């Protein structure tokens, strides 16, 4: 914890400097607005820090209907990011009895590990140390939880709000016991470490086998494992990150190239990594026609569309496929993979290190990643048209500026009215952890960024509505077939001859073919 004697000494030094400024008669050079601000700062500096002065028990006693749930983690063993250590978690919520569980905990994240405000992975256990499921704060029954510190997000809510929006318009590609949810749920809490205040966190569930309804691996009588459901997570940048190449690497570990084996993580082997290699091998086949005919055996198109829209529209810098899950319910029946996003705090104008980006994504941002590197430029099966129609639908609903603003302001109001925002600001000011003095300033910046993103994408999206499908299938034979139809030599025309999909086969289609064959931009 912070050295409070040093803390107050530093505050008094600043106050002394402000007073000294006045004594040198420089005050005459400062207008009334700045004078008022100096007085405000002086009063703020001399105000006791109520949140930091309290203990967890004192905070629990003062809870009211506006308070966030309070979470206390107690532990005596040094915590790190590699190994779980034993602890105790207590959750206090106004109007409810305290929830107390034994747990195992460790630090989580990558960039977050370098910040003083650490995020935690928490697993509930019973008195014997065995897995224990509980429905914490009404989220869902599970034993594995995340306390997200959000230390790179001055707004302290981007990840939560992005997932809430994603859950509004996307769902799993197969039935589950959790409403076909393909993202996390969570709620804002305040966390205490051994009774000392540590700030605003988001308690959320995890993307795991149980949520996505992946079939369990089976241990056979001879000791071998029958792999069924698979869950991979893109964890870092590397050769395999674009999903069309990989380095030779050991397969007897949970880490392989740029991915982590999330399930079945107890059985890392060639059997559990080979399916991902097969996906990457398919993405890099040289035969474009073969790719076109078979890519839907590997991907769910609607899922690809939603993932594309989320990343490009929200400007999410840490994807793809870092911070992305790939899952299939049972590899023995099919090898199609569903995409689930992760760690969405590098969004709506925020970079992964907490700085502002100030620019929106280009519409071709995803074209270096498989399978988008083929299905977008060639517009296979009208993928551009699908994206455009879905984008226009979503930006009038779940992804509208109004809906985003409603989510952001609702979270901000709760953080401010509960007093949590002031406590967060006072706890982390000057520590290297990104924190904003005025939550509304950061909120308005994010909304303005998003408006610019929508406005910059709209003209290009409108062009995609009538984009020409599968240009690479056009040959001179295609032109000949169109001529024969127009001249009456043949009396039928299939969809392949209606190049621009306007319902008519005519000279416009011939012109498009010639332009493509001559390399003229359409």
Contact 152, 345 (CB under 8 A): yes
Between residues 491 and 511, the one the model is more confident about: 511
**b/e 83-107 (16+ beta carbons within 10 angstroms → b):** ebeebebbbbbeeeeebebbbbbbe
> In terms of pLDDT, which residue wins out, 364 or 432?
364
Distance CA 236, CA 249 (A): 15
Q: At what angle do helices 383-394 and 301-314 cross, to 10 degrees?
A: 60
Contacts 24+ apart (CB under 8 A), 505-513: 509/482, 510/479, 510/482, 510/483, 510/486, 512/468, 512/474, 513/474, 513/478, 513/479, 513/482
Amino acid 238: pLDDT = 84
Inform me whether the pLDDT recorded for 272 exceeds 50. yes
Judging by beta carbons within 10 Å of its beta carbon (0-12, 13-18, 19+), is residue 507 exposed, middle or buried?
exposed
Please give the Cα distance from 213 to 330 (Å, whole number): 10
- Give the residue from 246, 319, 236 showing the smallest Cα distance to 278: 246
Give pLDDT, residue 502.
Answer: 63
Q: Answer whether residue 121 shows pLDDT above 50.
A: yes
For the chain, give the percent of residues with pLDDT over 90.
70
Strand ranges in 323-386 using DSSP code E only, listed in sequence order: 324-328, 338-341
Beta bridge partners of 371: none
Angle among Cα 260, 265, 267 to the nearest 5 degrees reads: 120
- Residues sharing a CB contact under 8 Å with residue 319, sequence separation 6 or more, in sequence order: 311, 341
> Is residue 422 scored above 80 in pLDDT?
yes
pLDDT of residue 39: 34
Q: Which range, of 16-30, 45-59, 77-91, averages the lowest pLDDT? A: 16-30
C-alpha to C-alpha distance for 190 and 421, rounded to whole angstroms: 10
* List of residues 6+ apart from 358 with CB closer than 8 A: 349, 449
pLDDT at 4 over 50: no
Report whether pLDDT(41) > 70: no
Strand 70-74 relative to strand 186-193, pairing: parallel
Predicted pLDDT of residue 466: 81
How would residue 515 be classed by pLDDT, with cut points 50, 70 and 90? confident
Confidence of residue 475 (pLDDT cuts 50, 70, 90): confident
Q: Is the pLDDT of residue 249 over 80?
A: yes
pLDDT at 352: 87
Whether omega for the bond prior to residue 504 falls within 30 degrees of 0, making it cis, is no
Arithmetic mean of pLDDT, 428-435: 87
pLDDT of residue 6: 45
- Tell me how far apart the alpha carbons of residues 453 and 365 are, in angstroms, rounded to a whole number: 13
Size of the chain in residues: 522
Q: Do the Cβ atoms of 104 and 123 come closer than 8 Å?
A: yes
DSSP assignment string, 254-282: SEETTEEEEETTT--SHHHHHHHHHHHHH
What count of other Cβ atoms lies within 10 Å of the Cβ of residue 5? 8
State which H helix or E strand residue 88 sits in. strand 85-92
Q: What residues have CB less than 8 Å from 218, skipping those under 6 apart?
A: 225, 226, 228
Mean of the per-residue pLDDT values of the chain: 87
Q: How far apart are CA 300 and CA 337, in angstroms?
A: 7
CA 516 to each of CA 304, 479, 520: distance values in angstroms, whole numbers, following the listed order? 27, 11, 6
User: Is residue 52 exposed (0-12), middle (13-18) or buried (19+ Cβ within 10 Å)?
Assistant: middle
What one-character-per-residue DSSP string does 22-87 give?
HHTTGGGGS-HHHHHHHHHHHHHHTS--HHHHS-HHHHHHT--TTPPPEEEEE--SPP-SSS-EEE
Q: Are 293 and 282 in contact (CB under 8 A)?
A: no
Torsion from C-alpha of 407, 411, 417, 418, nearest 10 degrees: 150
pLDDT exceeding 70 applies to what percent of the chain? 86
Mean pLDDT of 11-33: 36
| pLDDT-wise least confident of 48-57, 123-132, 154-163, 261-270 | 48-57
What is the C-alpha to C-alpha distance for residues 73 and 134, in angstroms, rounded to an integer? 17
**Is the pLDDT confidence value at 209 over 90?**
yes
151 has a pLDDT exceeding 80 = yes
- For residue 251, the 8-state DSSP code is S
């Amino acid at each position: 914890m912070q050295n409070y004697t040093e803390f107050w000494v530093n505050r008094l030094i600043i106050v002394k400097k402000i007073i000294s400024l006045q004594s040198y008669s420089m005050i005459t050079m400062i207008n009334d607005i700045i004078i008022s601000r100096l007085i405000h700062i002086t009063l703020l500096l001399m105000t006791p820090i109520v949140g930091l002065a309290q203990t967890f028990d004192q905070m629990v006693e003062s809870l009211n209907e506006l308070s966030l749930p309070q979470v206390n983690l107690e532990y005596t063993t040094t915590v790190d990011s590699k190994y779980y250590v034993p602890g105790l978690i207590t959750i206090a919520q106004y109007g409810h009895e305290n929830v107390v569980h034994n747990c195992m905990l460790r630090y989580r994240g990558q960039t977050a590990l370098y910040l003083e405000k650490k995020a935690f992975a928490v697993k509930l256990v019973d008195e014997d140390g065995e897995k224990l499921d509980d429905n914490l704060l009404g989220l869902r029954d599970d034993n594995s939880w995340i306390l997200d510190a959000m230390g790179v997000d001055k707004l302290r809510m981007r990840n939560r709000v992005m997932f809430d929006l994603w859950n509004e318009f996307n769902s799993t590609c197969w039935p589950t016991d959790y409403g076909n949810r393909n993202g996390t749920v969570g709620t804002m809490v305040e966390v205490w470490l051994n009774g000392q205040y540590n700030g605003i966190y988001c308690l959320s569930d995890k993307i795991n086998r149980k949520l996505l309804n992946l079939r369990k691996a089976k241990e056979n009588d001879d000791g071998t494992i029958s792999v069924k459901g698979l869950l991979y997570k893109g964890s870092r940048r590397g050769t395999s990150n674009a999903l069309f190449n990989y380095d030779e690497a050991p397969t007897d570990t949970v880490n392989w190239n740029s991915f982590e084996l999330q399930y079945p993580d107890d059985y890392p082997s060639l059997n559990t990594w080979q399916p991902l290699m097969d996906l990457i091998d398919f993405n890099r086949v040289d035969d474009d026609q073969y790719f076109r005919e078979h890519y839907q055996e590997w991907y769910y198109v609607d899922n690809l569309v939603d993932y594309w829209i989320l990343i490009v529209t929200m400007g999410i810098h840490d994807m793809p496929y870092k911070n992305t899950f790939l899952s299939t319910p049972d590899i023995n029946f099919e090898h199609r993979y569903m995409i689930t996003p992760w760690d969405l705090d590098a969004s709506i104008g925020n970079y992964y290190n907490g700085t502002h980006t100030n620019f929106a994504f280009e519409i071709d941002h995803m074209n270096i990643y498989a399978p988008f590197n083929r299905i977008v430029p060639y517009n296979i099966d009208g993928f551009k048209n699908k994206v455009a129609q879905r984008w226009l639908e979503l930006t009038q609903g779940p992804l509208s500026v109004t809906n985003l603003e409603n989510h952001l302001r609702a979270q901000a109001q709760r953080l401010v009215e509960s007093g949590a925002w002031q406590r967060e600001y006072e706890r982390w000011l000057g520590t290297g952890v990104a924190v904003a003095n005025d939550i509304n300033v950061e909120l308005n910046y994010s909304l303005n960024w998003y408006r610019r993103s929508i406005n910059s994408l709209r003209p290009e999206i409108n062009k995609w509505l009538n984009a020409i499908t599968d240009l690479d299938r056009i040959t001179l034979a295609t032109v000949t077939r169109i001529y024969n139809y127009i001249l009456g030599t043949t009396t039928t025309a299939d969809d392949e001859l209606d190049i621009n999909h306007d319902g008519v086969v005519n000279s416009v289609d011939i012109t498009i073919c010639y332009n493509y064959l001559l390399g003229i931009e359409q």
